[in-house]
Chains A and B, each alone.
Chain A
Amino acid sequence: MANPAVSLREPLIAGRKTSAQVSRDICAVLDRRPTALWWSAFLLALSTLLLGVAAVGYQISVGIGTWGLNRTVGWAFDITNFVFWVGIGHAGTLISAVLFLLRQPWRTSVNRSAEAMTIFAVICAGLFPVIHMGRPWLAFWMIPYPNWRGPLWINFRSPLVWDFFAILTYFTISLVFWYVGLVPDLATIRDRTAPGLRRRLLSFLSLGWDGSQRTWQRYETVYKLLAGLATPLVISVHTIVSWDFATSLIPGWHTTLLPPYFVAGAIFSGMSMVLTLMIVARKVMRLEDYITRQHIDKMCKVTLATGLMVGFAYVIEFFTALYSGNQYEQFVFVNRALGPFWWSYWIMVGCNVAIPQLFWLRRVRRTVWAVLVISIVINVGMWFERFVIIVTSLHRDFLPAAWSSYAPTWIEIATLAGSFGLFFTCFLLFCRFVPVIAISEVKGVLSVGRQFDEPLPPPAGARPLRAVPAAAGAVAQTEATQ
């Protein structure tokens, strides 16, 4: 570190990796037999998932009555969970699309798993609108299809319908985007696997990738295009979700603030979930070199920023209400803070506004365990945010005689747990069978933060593989040319 130039920018990827090492390190996870830790985590996740399945099965066979809802509070855990998971989904698209277009090299280490997380989160989210129906077996009536009823169409004025389409679009794009990004790495693994069924499968999935200049160029184009397509979704999806509430007339829901508020919140929660997952993943899968403190630090900053927006929204909400002079509006917010559900409100404020302020401190951002704790806290807080918005607005609206309360049943709690079970089951399987880090892209950024005069170290022992150097070279070039 004699040379001052070095300290200007610390390397993005630690441990002076060569391309070959990168492939080896990341694929090592796939080659290795699953560790006891993985197994225990997987079994835990799976059993919670089964618990959830049981709960939902029971609820569908007996009735929504097995939830704690009542004539006044028609939505609670169900839609809270739905919004929560959709929110989680956001970070994926943000990191993969927006940061890609913004050319943020640090995204490379996390985008793969972030996108995966998105997909799983959206799956979890998509579940709830279906099971929250009184007659889920008729869910297909939400689809506008030609029918023998006159025909009878769906209500295009209903935000639920917009929702339905928004989520569907979002899911499709995310899936495609994720898969396209996966192709080069699938090729890499293909080349590393001995001939056999697995290899044939991989070669099918990698769409005959041959690492040639042409493939790389096509790939880059497609990827950019998809990124462009995905970006508006970051805004649209949660905006539309927020319309479920904003277009209604329930005080506390009926406000134009909701869309930006929801989007910010979504990114906020998504980022914190990514942090949680990454921190665990890098430890368990020994990827500290690839997901460095620097990555965490950067994500913390994004989290902090969005967290501030959310906090701002909380304040503005109150201001709007007080300024409106509308007694129902005013009451709802006073009731949120001081009414029967005051605790949920203050949990929300504490977790989403107060605690994240610690991220101002570099020390905190750089202490991994602290970040882990805070990110989990934020997730809790964001769940409560949705709970507050939905339940506290509904339970005391216009006519005092209709006021009511709400308490979840065990079925509901089990369903919530089940959704987490589903999420983590999927994620663990993902870690097991797919490279959690975009190998090719990481190779592209190996040089970031390194001094160019210093030579790359010779390949450490291991024989480099066929496809990889070419690929890496290609990326290096493209990076360089820009």
Chain B
Amino acid sequence: MAGERTRQAQQRNRRNGSRFPGTASPPAGSSGEHEELAVGRRGFLKAAGFGLMLAGCRQAPLEKAIPFLIPPEEIVPGRSLYYASTCTACPAACGLLAKTRDGRPIKLEGNPAHPLSRGALCALGQASILGLYDKWRPRNPRHQGQDTSWEQIDAQIMERLEGLRRGGGALRLLTGTLNSPALEAVVKRFLAGFPDARRISYDPVSRSAILDAHLQTHGKRVLPRYRFDRAEVILSFDADFLGTWISPVEHTAGYREARSPDVETPRRCYHVQVESRLSLTGSKADRRIVAAPHEHGPLAVQLAAALADLAGESFPGEVQRNEGLAQRVEPLARMLWRARRRSLVVSGSPDPAFQTACNYLNELLGNYGRTLELGPASRQREGDDGALAGLLEELGRGEVGALLVWGVDPVFELPLEGRWETLLEQVPLMISLDDRLTETCGLADYFCPDHHYLESWGDREPVEGVLSLLQPCIEPLGRTRPLIESLSAWMGDSRPAYELLREHWRSALFPRQRQETSFDAFWDRALHDGVAQIEPESRSFSEARFEPRMFGDGSREVSPAEGEFSLVLYPKVGILDGRHADNPWLQELPDPISKATWGNYACLAPLAAEAIGVREGDLIRLGAVAGQGPELELPVLVQPGQHERVVAVALGYGGKATRRFAGIGPRWLEAGETVGNDGRVGVNSAPFIRLQARHLVYSGVPVRLSPTGERRQLARTQLYDAITVPASLALPGGERRPAVKEVTWEELFDPHLPVEPGTHSEHGSSQDLWPDDHPYTGRRWAMTIDLDACTGCSACVIACQVENNIPVVGRDEVRRQREMHWLRIDRYYWGQGENLRVAHQPMPCQHCQNAPCETVCPVLATVHSAEGLNQQVYNRCVGTRYCANNCPYKVRRFNWFDYAHEDELENLVLNPDVTVRSRGVMEKCSFCVQRIQEAKIEAKRRGVELRDGEIQSACQQTCPASAIVFGNINDAGSRVAQLAQSARHYRVLEELNVKPAVAYLKLVSRPDPQEEGHG
């Protein structure tokens, strides 16, 4: 038996071995010495303590200084260079600037020149840099799991393709959304070389229905470009457009623009969210309508009918009269009607009939061409579920001679009862071209790994006419090759990606632009800016027409029977479809709503949890009603604001790639594992995705829940969710904590209402013990965070983590409330049911003027700077944790262990301007003091004054809603000083008179526009 087990173990090891190559040695020019020094430092510090032990050793460890032989131009050691490129973490293709130091990217910043993302990045984009230094990333082409050379593999593949060509067999290229003009051109040429070749693309989280609906109604399969910035009423059916839907960064920026009270003419956009679970977007909605998935369809149809009445038209689809519903939608209808041409209806539903209804609504409201555009349309999703279904049929009939896969992982993403494995096994020639080891790669005969996007040349066209360029920021770390090169190589064209790209731009794209006369000028500017505008291809689409059949038979989704729940599978912020689930930063990123990390869980409404008698952390079994079919075991998370008959589970977890996290985090006697019993993080819920009537369906499956009696405690960073203290412990007047303050739109803009003045002036009588401690004669740094703008998307959290070398601590440590994030986003609930209100409150170090932490530190390790920074001096800290105890905001983080920095390759991402902290010292947000220093010194060097906005903290830089403003509050002209005058301005725990340098702008509650007169 034991022998048996060991053999299995060996086999497993061998499989792992073949799957994951051993640690790669860092490339030339890397600072392999960084780690060595870090250790040296720790050694030094300890030694410094045991002074006597040091009597013998006179010199610190010998240090070498190795200069370049021939210096590359523009590289000055110690100076950063920024290269404009494009994020490909998701198809939204946001623009970014890659900060490189000594030839290696260390941080991604949003590209302000980019018309869509406008200088912001999401959490995913911020974290995607770690993928570059991922030691598990394939570094060689493989044949049957054996490393080989490109020459060999090319020879073999070309021979087999040649055979296919002659035999007239079918070749299929399966990709995700591929909105790259140059690549598409090459693909087209490649496919043209075969008698029967096609590209099929699908999106793991499908938006196909939107395109299909438009094919029906507008005669063109397009994805509209949604202009939330122009909307005044937004109605969203389960579309999480601020979190995960199509292009969150772009949408968030637009959304904020449409709702900003601080501009000349304040804009109050009213947002209604119809959803079955509490999404990030729902948490910002002015009104939430909680409805089970199967209720959305009828609701939309009723609404369409009601609007048709208002418009004096007859609704083409058939409606079963339902007074209850009718009354419910009536006010909505009127609100939308009042805001016609300035309203927007969006839906996350994968059902084309439903999307057709939305199109009808938008058409009726005259929103087309205003709040949503079909030309230039968006190209951020192109997946076609119908084509995918077709491919599956072809595979089933064994008609496919060769299958090339790039950018998708069907085996993991859409198992469909394991059909893929069986089908792919039979494909004679299967080639995987992905940049990572997907689970589909395991079935491929040939694996031709792609570059990481920071290594490669390329382009993207997120919106027609908007070109976004990718350029390499580092030498490829492995012997990988971009898809575009692989394909053209198999066409006998061995040009590098750079030339292929330029050639396509010269021939196809340059003619479509007006600004530049010479191509080189055009190219250079595009390369510098990262983006270029060209004439969109004239995409004609017919007048909208609607026929009854398009609306389908009401709703496809079946309502769950008594005792059953309807399952909702949702993409989670940071994880999405799971292609980045191998990224420890994203795994440890608290979910903006549930605040849970490391793994997925079954969200249940409080009432539902009560009904089946479970509480948070209880393991429940989720099974299809039919009995056979997929089963999941998940811990429960009780989620307020969710529908009682719904159980929501996140997609993208439980992949093989997460096995790498076994053993992450500090190892000690009572350390717990990060991975589950199956050695993975979370459970893959994709088996519940159905391909139904040629469309992927993610929600509405009726399931049974049965408690298993076991428990698996969730690793949540916030244990108490409400802004009110537990009712059983509350004394009258003390129920609600004033951390989050609200103001209604009326209070803000009604001149008659008295508005409490901004609290920038020293609050209260402010009697200080040491009044003249801090004169602040020069600059004084301060930050303002707009609670109304903040959506909780958590991009700032990751940005901060990357910028400040914040370690990942693993599931068990998070469970012990020891996460290290310097920037924590507090999420508070108040209210009940549909009136549940949510606030997201980013909570960095408040840099108090009368900092409680400073007085108590015995060794002066945390002290105040002349410019108002609360400085933490790691090398002086002895770790009494007194400061953390005395911090009313609890923003200080302690190094409980020596956190891992052994991965030489991963260490390349460390920011050389920030000390890597050792065990036993306190740390916290520094207002990115390294950036302040750099800017100050640089200004001094150039002999100019620091301008406002020149220094941006990492969190501020990446914020899609521009909710964070940082600057010198002593400069009256600075934005932060102006915001201090705002009527929404307040400070958290002001009454303690600690005088924080961080201030907040109050949440704005926008009452229903029809309640007060003006529409």
Q: Is B849 an interface residue (CB 8 A)?
A: no
B856 touching A153, Cβ below 8 Å: no
Which B901-938 residues have a C-beta within 8 angstroms of A?
A: 919-922
Give the complex CA separation of A152 and B49 in angstroms. Answer: 16
The listed residue (A248, A334, A410) touching B731 by CB distance below 8 A is A334
Shortest CB–CB separation between residue B915 and chain A, in angstroms? Answer: 15
Contact with A along B127-166 (1 / 0, CB 8 A): 0000000000000000000000000000000000000000
Give the complex CA separation of A68 and B815 in angstroms. Answer: 11
The listed residue (B45, B817, B989) touching A398 by CB distance below 8 A is B989
Shortest CB–CB separation between residue B814 and chain A, in angstroms? Answer: 10
Q: Which B residues are in CB contact (< 8 Å) with A405?
A: 719, 817
A401 touching B888, Cβ below 8 Å: no
Q: Is A158 an interface residue (CB 8 A)?
A: yes
Give the complex CA separation of A140 and B858 in angstroms. Answer: 11
Shortest CB–CB separation between residue A461 and chain B, in angstroms? Answer: 58
Q: Which A residues are in CB contact (< 8 Å) with B818?
A: 65, 70-71
- Of A130-138, A222-230, A272-280, A447-455, the segment with at least 4 beta carbons within 8 Å of chain B is A130-138
Choose among A71, A140, A325 the residue with the greatest number of B CB atoms under 10 Å from its CB: A71
Q: Which A residues are in CB contact (< 8 Å) with B541?
A: none
Give the complex CA separation of A425 and B669 in angstroms. Answer: 28
Q: Is B467 an interface residue (CB 8 A)?
A: no
Q: Which A residues are in CB contact (< 8 Å) with B813?
A: 65
The listed residue (A133, A137, A402, A403) touching B880 by CB distance below 8 A is A133
Q: Which A residues are in CB contact (< 8 Å) with B841?
A: 401
| CB contact under 8 A between A399 and B729, given known A70-B816, A141-B859, A327-B734 | no
Which A123-162 residues have a C-beta within 8 angstroms of B?
A: 129, 132-142, 152-155, 157-161
| CB contact under 8 A between A75 and B719, given known A135-B879, A327-B733, A410-B670 | no
A153 touching B728, Cβ below 8 Å: no
Give the residue name and chain of the B residue nearest to A336 (CB): B729
Q: Which B residues are in CB contact (< 8 Å) with A248?
A: 852, 856, 885-886
Q: Is B479 an interface residue (CB 8 A)?
A: no
B882 touching A160, Cβ below 8 Å: yes
Contact with B along A61-93 (1 / 0, CB 8 A): 011111011111011000000000000000000
Q: Is A411 an interface residue (CB 8 A)?
A: yes
Q: Is A404 an interface residue (CB 8 A)?
A: yes
A402 touching B889, Cβ below 8 Å: yes
The listed residue (A134, A161, A402) touching B890 by CB distance below 8 A is A402
Give the complex CA separation of A482 and B876 in angstroms. Answer: 58
Q: Is B894 an interface residue (CB 8 A)?
A: yes
Which A171-186 residues have a C-beta within 8 angstroms of B?
A: none
Q: Is A335 an interface residue (CB 8 A)?
A: yes
A404 touching B670, Cβ below 8 Å: no
Q: How many residues on chain B are close to A (CB under 8 Å)?
A: 71
Q: How many residues on chain A are close to B (CB under 8 Å)?
A: 63
| CB contact under 8 A between A74 and B725, given known A63-B897, A64-B894, A135-B879 | no
The listed residue (A71, A155, A334, A396) touching B859 by CB distance below 8 A is A155
Contact with B along A29-58 (1 / 0, CB 8 A): 000000000000000000000000000001
| CB contact under 8 A between A134 and B816, given known A154-B859, A339-B729 | no
Q: Is B739 an interface residue (CB 8 A)?
A: yes
Q: List the count of A-B residue pairs having beta carbons below 8 Å apart.
A: 210
Which A234-250 residues have a C-beta within 8 angstroms of B?
A: 244, 247-250
Choose among B728, B859, B884 the residue with the greatest number of A CB atoms under 10 Å from its CB: B859
A71 touching B890, Cβ below 8 Å: yes
B729 touching A74, Cβ below 8 Å: no
Give the complex CA separation of A164 and B886 in angstroms. Answer: 19
A164 touching B817, Cβ below 8 Å: no
Q: Is B705 an interface residue (CB 8 A)?
A: no
A71 touching B669, Cβ below 8 Å: no
Shortest CB–CB separation between residue A163 and chain B, in angstroms? Answer: 9
B888 touching A142, Cβ below 8 Å: no
Q: Is B992 an interface residue (CB 8 A)?
A: yes
B719 touching A160, Cβ below 8 Å: no
The listed residue (A71, A137, A155, A410) touching B817 by CB distance below 8 A is A71
Q: Is A394 an interface residue (CB 8 A)?
A: yes
B668 touching A399, Cβ below 8 Å: no
The listed residue (A141, A153, A331) touching B730 by CB distance below 8 A is A331
Give the residue name and chain of the A residue nearest to B820 (CB): A71
Give the complex CA separation of A75 and B818 in angstroms. Answer: 14
B843 touching A330, Cβ below 8 Å: no
Which B821-879 residues have a C-beta within 8 angstroms of A?
A: 824, 826-828, 841, 843, 852, 855-860, 876-879
Q: Is B893 an interface residue (CB 8 A)?
A: yes
Give the complex CA separation of A301 and B739 in angstroms. Answer: 49
The listed residue (A75, A160, A399) touching B826 by CB distance below 8 A is A399
| CB contact under 8 A between A133 and B920, given known A63-B897, A335-B729 | yes
A331 touching B729, Cβ below 8 Å: yes
The listed residue (A68, A133, A140, A338) touching B879 by CB distance below 8 A is A133
A64 touching B720, Cβ below 8 Å: no
Q: Is A4 an interface residue (CB 8 A)?
A: no
| CB contact under 8 A between A331 and B719, given known A58-B669, A75-B885 | no
Give the complex CA separation of A409 and B857 in angstroms. Answer: 26
Which A92-121 residues have a C-beta within 8 angstroms of B?
A: none
Choose among A74, A132, A141, A160 the residue with the greatest number of B CB atoms under 10 Å from its CB: A74
B719 touching A404, Cβ below 8 Å: yes
Shortest CB–CB separation between residue B832 and chain A, in angstroms? Answer: 17
Shortest CB–CB separation between residue A60 and chain B, in angstroms? Answer: 10
The listed residue (A159, A325, A400) touching B856 by CB distance below 8 A is A159
Q: Is A297 an interface residue (CB 8 A)?
A: no
Contact with A along B92-109 (1 / 0, CB 8 A): 000000000000000000
Q: Which A residues are in CB contact (< 8 Å) with B879?
A: 64, 133-135
Q: Which B residues are in CB contact (< 8 Å) with A158?
A: 855-858, 882
A398 touching B888, Cβ below 8 Å: yes
14 A–B contacts from the bound complex (CB under 8 Å): A65-B818, A65-B897, A69-B896, A75-B885, A135-B877, A140-B49, A141-B876, A154-B858, A154-B859, A327-B733, A334-B730, A394-B885, A398-B989, A401-B718
Seed contacts A75-B881, A136-B878, A403-B719; 13 additional CB < 8 Å A-B pairs: A65-B818, A68-B816, A72-B817, A74-B884, A134-B880, A135-B49, A142-B878, A155-B858, A158-B855, A338-B728, A402-B890, A404-B817, A409-B669
Q: Which residues of A contact B (CB under 8 A)?
A: 58, 62-66, 68-72, 74-75, 129, 132-142, 152-155, 157-161, 164, 244, 247-250, 322, 325, 327, 330-331, 334-335, 338-339, 394, 396-405, 409-411
